[in-house]
Amino acid sequence: MADETNQITTTNSNEINKQYILAPHCPVGYFLMAAVMLVFIPIVFVATAINTLKRPDSDSFWSILNITCLIGFSIVLLPIGGFMLIILIYCLIRYYKRDWIYKKKIEIENNQHRDNSSVKWNLKCVQIYKKIFFSSHRENQNEESII
């Protein structure tokens, strides 16, 4: 019963690890979407600021304030989005590398198990052969000693 519970827990934890790489309540899709938005929104802000500068009424106080706020937000958000993308890429590489190492480990263990079973069968065959050979050899010696 304890083995079943442990196996179920291990299976569930493996599924959770595949679904949630970065944090327990942060699926990769949402994290990627937030990172991409934090990179592209500042680009849109800068483009909007440039378009605002090109308008003829861009000399008013509110236009200059709008341009300043857009550029300020883009300066703040762009490094955060870039940092989030770098973290996401790092975590994905680390996850797939760990997954690859885990698969290789299982493959090696399976090969070792297969090798061990073939070695065991070979040993059994050798033991059976020795028993048959030595038993017939003993019988021959017994017959020779009788004669």
145 occurs within a structural domain: no
pLDDT in tens, 20-53: 554 445 567 777 788 888 888 888 888 888 888 8
Q: How many CA atoms lie within 13 A of 81 on its CB side?
A: 17
Domain boundaries, position 32: 2-116
Could you tell me the pTM of the whole model? 0.47
34 occurs within a structural domain: yes
Distance (Å, whole) CA 84 – CA 39: 9
144 occurs within a structural domain: no
45 occurs within a structural domain: yes
For the chain, what is the domain count?
1
130 occurs within a structural domain: no
74 occurs within a structural domain: yes
| Tokens 């480990």 found at | 105
Q: How many CA atoms lie within 13 A of 106 on its CB side?
A: 5
pLDDT in tens, 102-137: 777 777 777 766 656 666 777 777 777 777 777 766
Is 120 in contact with 128 (CB distance < 8 Å)?
no
129 occurs within a structural domain: no
- Three-state SS letters, 81-113: HHHHHHHHHHHHHHHHHHHHHHHHHHHHHHHHH
53 occurs within a structural domain: yes
